């Protein structure tokens, strides 16, 4: 952010891969992160999906689809406009994996 | 929007705070808004979350995480490219509060 | 994308209409798409919503609200920065319809 010298604009954080997502969430401690995992396992149980016949990870795709691959966050005064407790999380729904690509794109509002 | 004189571009609406979200939804009357609250209380019941030991608002964070803090909406002919019934809602999952910051960022596509 | 000659930037794909959404998801075959429909019908059953008194499509609005009307995707080396299996889906939750408007907006990062 500092390197880009953009004062006002947008930063897009995008996870490449259809079984991961980007979520803005509190990171004061691990509790909310654990609760996110608990909730998604309850809402989207593993097993019984049509896609399981391919890769046995149908639930991973569905979780990623709900969370979505990206968030677009304002840049305010040269910094990300997150609030005190907001942070950006990569949600890995089909891991652990040795590698996940995340593309970060910065746009200047030109003002 | 009119003030910015941008004819084509994007407007990003971002809620600062990890227990609120931004949803595009119909606002013909209050019915869909009430249904959103009913649905989220059913999908994410309050109580029993690990984060409740901190702030007793684990469900608020989870709801906000699913909705997400932002939407990015096209600017078409100098106006927001919402359809007739689409409107932008701040979803307050941990209120009422006296204050919520929402950051609005406008980018010109330069065409 | 090729026509715009943008090498690095963002493309926003936005569905106009409060009963449709945009989801990035795998399209290797129809299985994940079918699973998405199965999941959303389970999480948001039709019938019993307050909005059903208006249009009998309360569940359609709720599904669209969770998925969201848009995704903003990076442009990398002049192409959409999707991974091998990621594709962009219009989720029609209140169809079939003869027409849905989708607005595509391209922004250049200017670098």
Residue-wise pLDDT tens digits, C80-101: 999 999 999 999 999 999 999 9
Q: Does this complex have an ipTM over 0.90?
A: yes
Compute the distance between CA of residue B18 and CA of residue A85 in angstroms, rounded to an integer: 7
- For tokens 């919503």, name the residue: C49
Cα torsion B52, B55, B57, B61 to 10°: value is -100
CA-nearest residue of chain C to B29?
A: C51
The torsion defined by the Cα of B108, C1, C4 and C8, in degrees rounded to 10, comes to: 60
- Look up tokens 């652990």; give the residue: A96
Q: What part of A 32-71 touches B (C-beta under 8 Å)?
A: 32, 34-36, 38-39, 43, 66-68, 71
Confidence bin at B111 (pLDDT 50/70/90): low
Global pTM? 0.97
Secondary structure of residue A41 in the 3-state scheme: helix
Distances (CA, A) of A36 to C60, C65, C92: 25, 19, 27
- pLDDT tens profile C29-43: 999 999 999 999 999
> How far, in whole angstroms, is CA B33 from its chain's centroid?
12
Of the candidates B17, B44, B65, the beta carbon closest to that of A83 is on: B17
Question: Would you call the peptide bond into C66 cis, given omega within 30 degrees of 0 as the criterion?
Answer: no
Residues of chain C contacting residue B32, judged by C-beta atoms under 8 Å apart: 18, 50-51, 58, 61-62, 65
Q: Which residue from B minimizes the CA distance to C49? A: B35
Handedness of CA C23, C24, C27, C33 (dihedral sign): negative
Give the pLDDT confidence of B34-68 residue by residue, as tens digits: 999 999 999 999 999 999 999 999 999 999 999 99
Beta-carbon contacts of residue A26 (< 8 Å; ≥ 6 apart): A32, A85, A86, A87, B18, B51, B61
Interface with C, mutate which of A1, A10, A15, A16 (most C CBs under 10 A) = A16
Q: Which residue has 């991961």 as its token pair?
A: A20
CA pair distance A25, A43, nearest whole angstrom: 18
Among chain B residues, the shortest Cα distance to A75 is held by: B105
């Amino acid at each position: 952010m500092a390197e880009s010298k953009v004062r006002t604009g947008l930063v897009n954080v995008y996870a490449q891969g259809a079984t991961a997502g980007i979520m803005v969430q509190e990171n004061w401690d691990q509790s909310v992160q654990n609760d996110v995992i608990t909730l998604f396992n309850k809402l989207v149980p593993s097993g019984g999906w049509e896609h399981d016949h391919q890769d046995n990870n149908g639930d991973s795709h569905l979780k990623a689809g709900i969370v979505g691959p990206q968030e677009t966050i304002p840049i305010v005064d040269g910094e990300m406009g997150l609030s005190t407790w907001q942070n950006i999380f990569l949600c890995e729904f089909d891991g652990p994996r040795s590698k996940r690509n995340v593309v970060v794109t910065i746009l200047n509002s030109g003002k």
